[in-house]
Amino acid sequence: MGRRSNVSKLPEAIREVAERLLREGRTVDEITDALTGLGAEVSRSGVGRWKVGAEKALKHFHNIQALGATWAKALKDDPEGKVGRLLIEIGKTQVLDNMLQGADGEERQPMETKDLFFLSMAAKNFESAGKINADRELKIRAEVAREVKEKAGSAVEQLGKSQGLSKDVVAQLRAAVIGVAS
């Protein structure tokens, strides 16, 4: 990892001015002039290196925000299972980024092997939790369906008997209502 730039070592108030100017899209010369005007001892090349690094970090931050927005939308649209699939995709992306590290000429710090391991374990755990939740929901739905069928069947039988219908007619009605012949 490289050493901290002189801009990064500036007092917080001056550094905030530099960051604001960066967000406003100011040039290296404009940022350098503003910082030297505030009494900071910085060079144009130092500000330029800081600006390049800060822009990369800002781009990375925007990518993370976009991923978070996608993740939040996926969770809102389909809360079951999306988290696990999304984490798996993040893991795949990280592994691919690690494999291609430096191939595009961009200097990046590869992700640590242990971090890739923890990411894969998190994806596995989320996927397992999702499967447990899905199984639980299926079991609950089956139980509710069974109870509804029982109540509907009983209601048909009671109504049929109270109306004086034959057992065959009641059985046909029951089969039509709940899909099961008695």
Q: What is the pLDDT of residues 120-178, one digit of tens each?
A: 777 677 677 777 877 888 999 999 988 988 898 888 889 888 989 898 888 888 888 88
- Higher-confidence residue of 119 and 162: namely 162
Is the predicted pLDDT of residue 2 greater than 60, yes or no? no
Give pTM, 2 decimals: 0.41
The confidence score (pLDDT) of residue 93 equals 75
Give the N- to C-terminal CA distance of the chain in Å, as an integer.
75
The confidence score (pLDDT) of residue 139 equals 93
The confidence score (pLDDT) of residue 1 equals 44
Q: For residues 105-130, give the mean pLDDT.
A: 71
Alpha-carbon span 117 to 153, nearest angstrom: 53
Q: Is 145 in contact with 135 (CB distance < 8 Å)?
A: no
Q: What proportion of the chain, given as a percentage, has pLDDT over 70?
A: 75
Alpha-carbon span 21 to 14, nearest angstrom: 11
Alpha-carbon span 95 to 138, nearest angstrom: 34
- Higher-confidence residue of 17 and 2: namely 17
DSSP-derived 3-state class of residue 24: coil
What are the boundaries of each domain within the chain? 1-57
Q: Is 60 in contact with 48 (CB distance < 8 Å)?
A: no
Alpha-carbon span 41 to 175, nearest angstrom: 88
The confidence score (pLDDT) of residue 48 equals 92
How much is the CA Rg of the chain, to the nearest whole Å?
A: 32
The confidence score (pLDDT) of residue 7 equals 85
Alpha-carbon span 89 to 29, nearest angstrom: 41
